[in-house]
């Protein structure tokens, strides 16, 4: 089962550069050369799915739904990365669609597991992450946009529903990864 998920994720991710091109340049014909971007995107999608399938064992229906939610976030994140690199913005429809799918998967997982408090944790995580990034956006309008705020709320909701240790890691990891860049400036 996991190998099928990895292959499907890699194939789907390999087609994301074409989708990103359509989002960023709708009036231009498709780029003739996107081979390297396709290979890189497919590799990241496949490796990410392999890591998720290994880390999140799908032994029950709620676990499978949670893994599916993480896979949706992986694919949406790849598409948002490609779009952000091209035009320096995060399109709201991509974030909204991913949020709707992830919310539906998480609600179904919570009902199937009989654990409605995971929904409350997800809402709290979305409010904390989104609220924190909204405060940063208001204080430094040139640094963080509303797309970043929406994406933070999406990530906060999924990570908190998975566990607060995951949410803490998701809250600190961007700053740890940005530290070498910040020091070099």
Per residue of the chain (185 residues), give pLDDT as tens.
667 777 777 778 777 888 887 777 777 766 554 667 777 788 888 888 887 777 666 678 888 898 899 999 999 999 999 899 888 889 999 999 999 999 999 999 999 999 999 999 999 999 999 999 999 999 987 888 999 999 999 999 999 999 999 999 999 998 898 888 888 87
In a domain, 175, yes or no: no
In a domain, 170, yes or no: no
Tokens for 166?
A: 């995951």
In a domain, 57, yes or no: yes
Cα–Cα distance measured from residue 81 to residue 90, given in angstroms and rounded to the nearest whole number: 8
pTM: 0.86
In a domain, 132, yes or no: no
Let me know if 55 is exposed, middle or buried by CB neighbors in 10 A (0-12, 13-18, 19+): exposed
In a domain, 18, yes or no: yes
Whole-number pLDDT of residue 131? 96
Give 141's DSSP letter. T
Whole-number pLDDT of residue 56? 65
Its domain, for residue 40, covers 1-86
In a domain, 155, yes or no: no
Cα–Cα distance measured from residue 31 to residue 35, given in angstroms and rounded to the nearest whole number: 10
In a domain, 131, yes or no: no
In a domain, 79, yes or no: yes
CB neighbours of 122 closer than 8 A, spacing ≥ 6? 103, 106, 157, 158, 160, 161
Residue listed under structure tokens 């790849």: 78
Structurally, the chain folds into a number of domains equal to 1
Whole-number pLDDT of residue 1? 61
Whole-number pLDDT of residue 183? 86
Cα–Cα distance measured from residue 108 to residue 68, given in angstroms and rounded to the nearest whole number: 11
């Amino acid at each position: 089962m996991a190998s099928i998920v990895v292959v499907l994720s890699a194939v789907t991710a390999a087609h994301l550069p074409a989708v990103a091109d359509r989002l960023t340049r709708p009036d231009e014909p498709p780029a003739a050369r996107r081979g390297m971007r396709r290979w890189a995107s497919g590799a990241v999608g496949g490796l990410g799915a392999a890591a998720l399938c290994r880390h999140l064992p799908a032994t029950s229906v709620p676990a499978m739904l949670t893994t599916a939610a993480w896979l949706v976030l992986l694919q949406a994140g790849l598409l948002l990365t490609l779009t952000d690199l091209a035009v320096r913005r995060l399109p709201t429809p991509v974030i909204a669609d991913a949020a709707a799918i992830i919310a539906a998967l998480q609600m179904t997982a919570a009902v199937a597991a009989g654990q409605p408090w995971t929904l409350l944790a997800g809402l709290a995580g979305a409010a904390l992450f989104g609220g924190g990034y909204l405060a940063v956006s208001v204080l430094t309008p040139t640094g963080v946009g509303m797309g970043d705020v929406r994406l933070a709320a999406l990530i906060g909701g999924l990570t908190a529903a998975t566990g607060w240790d995951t949410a803490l890691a998701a809250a600190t990891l961007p700053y740890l990864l940005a530290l070498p860049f910040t020091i070099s400036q």
